[in-house]
Amino acid sequence: METVKTWLREELFRYLAILTKLEEQRKAVDGDDEARLLAVIQEKSSLMAGIEKLERKIAGARKNFSAEEQKDAARHTGPLTAQIEDVLKKIIAREDACAEEIKKKQLKIQERMLQVKQGKTGLKGYGDRGKNKSWFSNNA
């Protein structure tokens, strides 16, 4: 049972690390720092891989518990589980905020691209004057 508590503490620690990384992610999104954003995403992925391993260990250990041991484990790990759930809610909220910010930036870029395209179409109305033609005749 203590092993499960230790694993849950480690899981909580990793989720808190992800929460910290999300603050870095928000700063990278706000600052248009694509390289930093990719690095933060990689770091979050490695933390998530560790969490998945811990969850498999916890599930395996709980599978071997008797019904009474499962009730006892739930009672002892309840506060820790509640903390993990709270951190997960914060993580989801921050991820959603970052996703919304990225969508806004994407829309701005799409608008700029449309304006450039419309500008090119407008220039076509002036005919071929923009092309460089030779001023010399072919008979020269």
Does residue 83 sit within a domain? Answer: yes
Question: Which domain, by its residues, includes 92?
Answer: 2-124
Does residue 129 sit within a domain? Answer: no
**In whole angstroms, what separates CA 64 from the centre of its chain?**
35
Does residue 60 sit within a domain? Answer: yes
Number of domains in the chain: 1
User: 95 falls in which pLDDT band (50, 70, 90)?
Assistant: very high
pTM of the model: 0.73
- Give 2-51 pLDDT, tens digit per residue: 888 899 999 999 999 999 999 999 999 889 888 999 999 999 999 999 99
Does residue 78 sit within a domain? Answer: yes
Does residue 26 sit within a domain? Answer: yes
* CATH number of the domain enclosing 38: 1.20.58
Does residue 136 sit within a domain? Answer: no
CA–CA distance, 62 with 3 (Å, rounded to integer): 11
**Helices 2-30 and 34-63, packing angle to 10 deg:** 160
